[in-house]
């Protein structure tokens, strides 16, 4: 365990690992967010009279020795995620301020359905720490919970069809790991994490290589061990891609009828398993219709780029 992890409450790193979240990356995200809020380091904006590194309001109105309790509360119903981030944010603020004795009792688990007024966590410690942590904590957890809530709508719509909803790379810069985790908590499936782990042959690659088959072969020759997915826009392109060796097709912007035909002819072109994804302009209203064409996945960029936050709050509790 690293020195900084030893300052976190017991078990936090293990819970992040279990969730598929890298503790070092989580800490980096949290510290960047706090630096932005407190004006630390490169986040400093030159304003006359500013006091970088300080919460000028809380430090002026609340003594450093004042202890208190706060609840993380749902203001509306939805699916929560990001609960393992709560103790991380508190620990990092405590470390920055030098105020010890902060704790988080997390009452709900990621993926839980909550309703308005549910208490998700109880925070205890110096009130200055609780208030400095408030916005960073909520910015992260409201964002991830909003994505999980939106994803759950898609997962429910696809239930029983055999198709799954996939996310994309249309994520907030710096937050991809957390946003894709939120998709998983909502019942969705992660596609590729970046440009490095899966090759995705799209229109521009086909143009550059001269054909679907040419682009597929080029990737196979350069990176033989990397999985290759090929975007197609017609049934004929689907067959061409399969005959070139592709075993994962992205059927882009097809009507349900054209998609069903593409699925049929692509799978008839080989005895091997072909995974097929519908992508492009899909909405939850038509999700079930597209799933019934026989595809394995529906790819939805809106899971991460257009999900509204889930409204959560931190309420200081009076004695």
CA pair distance 299, 166, nearest whole angstrom: 5
**244 near 270, Cβ under 8 Å?**
no
CA pair distance 221, 210, nearest whole angstrom: 16
Active-site position among 25, 169, 170, 292? 170
Cβ contacts of 189-197, under 8 Å, gap ≥ 24: 189/164, 189/165, 189/297, 190/166, 191/166, 191/167, 191/297, 191/299, 192/229, 194/169, 195/169, 197/226, 197/227
Q: Sort strands 67-74 and 119-126 into parallel, antiparallel or unpaired.
A: antiparallel
Active-site position among 55, 118, 157, 252? 252
Active-site position among 134, 157, 167, 231? 231
In this structure, what are the phi and psi dihedrals at residue 247, rounded to the nearest 5 degrees?
Answer: -125, 10
Residues 6+ away with beta carbon under 8 Å from 178: 21, 26, 29, 82, 85, 140, 143, 144
What are the tokens at 113? Answer: 């359905």
**Is 119 exposed, middle or buried, given 0-12, 13-18 or 19+ CB atoms closer than 10 A?**
middle
The runs of H, that is alpha helices, within 39-170 are 56-61, 85-97, 127-158
231 is known as an active-site residue: yes
206 is known as an active-site residue: no
Q: Which one, of 140, 105, 139, lies nearest residue 123 by Cα?
A: 105
135 is known as an active-site residue: yes
202 is known as an active-site residue: yes
Active-site position among 14, 18, 116, 202? 202
Would you call 2 helix, strand, or coil by DSSP? coil
CA pair distance 88, 104, nearest whole angstrom: 9
CA pair distance 165, 174, nearest whole angstrom: 23
14 is known as an active-site residue: no
Active-site position among 75, 135, 247, 292? 135
Residues recognised as catalytic: 135, 170, 202, 231, 252
């Amino acid at each position: 365990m690293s020195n900084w992890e030893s300052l976190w409450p017991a078990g936090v790193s293990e819970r992040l690992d279990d969730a598929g979240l890298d503790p070092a990356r989580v800490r980096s995200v949290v510290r960047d967010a706090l630096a932005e809020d407190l004006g630390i380091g490169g986040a400093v904006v030159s304003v006359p009279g500013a006091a970088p590194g300080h919460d000028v309001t809380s430090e002026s109105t609340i003594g450093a020795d004042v202890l208190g309790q706060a609840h993380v509360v749902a203001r509306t119903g939805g699916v929560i995620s990001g609960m393992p981030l709560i103790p991380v944010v508190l620990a990092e603020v405590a470390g920055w301020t030098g105020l010890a004795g902060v704790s988080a009792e997390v009452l709900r688990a990621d993926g839980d359905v909550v309703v308005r007024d549910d208490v998700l966590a109880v925070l205890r410690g110096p009130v200055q720490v609780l208030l400095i942590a408030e916005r960073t904590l909520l910015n992260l957890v409201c964002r991830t919970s909003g994505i999980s809530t939106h994803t759950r709508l898609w997962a429910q719509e696809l239930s029983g069809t055999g198709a799954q909803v996939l996310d994309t790379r249309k994520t907030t810069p710096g937050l991809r790991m957390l946003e894709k985790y939120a998709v998983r908590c909502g019942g969705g499936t992660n596609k590729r994490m970046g440009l490095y782990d899966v090759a995705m042959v799209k229109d521009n690659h086909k143009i550059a290589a001269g054909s679907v088959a040419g682009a597929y072969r080029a990737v196979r020759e350069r990176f033989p061990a990397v999985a290759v997915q090929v975007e197609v826009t017609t049934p004929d392109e689907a067959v061409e891609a399969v005959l070139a060796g592709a075993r994962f097709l992205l059927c882009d912007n097809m009507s349900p009828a054209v998609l069903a035909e593409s699925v049929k002819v692509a799978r008839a072109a080989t005895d091997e398993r072909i995974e097929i994804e519908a992508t492009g302009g899909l909405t939850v209203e038509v999700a079930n219709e597209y799933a019934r064409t026989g595809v394995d996945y529906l790819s939805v960029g809106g899971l991460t780029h257009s999900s509204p936050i889930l409204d959560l709050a931190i309420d200081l509790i009076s004695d």
